[in-house]
Amino acid sequence: MLQVTMMAPAVSDDSNCPADVLIVEDDPIIAIDFEDRLLGFGVKSVRTVGSVAQALAAIAAHAPEFALLDVGLSRENSFAVAERLAALKIPFVFVTGYGADARIPPEFAGQPRLQKPCSSDALEAALQVRAAN
Q: Which pLDDT score, from 0 to 100, does residue 7 have?
A: 31
Q: What pTM was computed for the model?
A: 0.84
Number of alpha helices (DSSP H) and beta strands (DSSP E) in the chain:
4, 7
- Between 64 and 131, residue with greater pLDDT: 64
Give the domain extent around 49. 20-132
- Between 9 and 111, residue with greater pLDDT: 111
Q: Which pLDDT score, from 0 to 100, does residue 126 have?
A: 87
Band of residue 41 on the pLDDT scale cut at 50, 70, 90: very high
- Between 12 and 5, residue with greater pLDDT: 12
Residue 2 forms part of a structural domain = no
Residue 122 forms part of a structural domain = yes
Band of residue 58 on the pLDDT scale cut at 50, 70, 90: very high
Structural domains counted in the chain: 1
Residue 10 forms part of a structural domain = no
Going from the C-alpha of 116 to that of each of 60, 99, 100, the distances in angstroms are 27, 8, 12
Residue 8 forms part of a structural domain = no
Band of residue 117 on the pLDDT scale cut at 50, 70, 90: confident
- Looking at residue 107, which CATH number applies to its domain? 3.40.50.2300
pLDDT over 80 at 12, yes or no: no
Where residue 41 falls (left for φ over 0; alpha for ψ -120 to 50; beta otherwise) is alpha
pLDDT over 60 at 90, yes or no: yes
* Spatial distance between the Cα atoms of 84 and 57, rounded to a whole number of angstroms: 11
Mean pLDDT confidence for 14-22: 81
Residue 63 forms part of a structural domain = yes
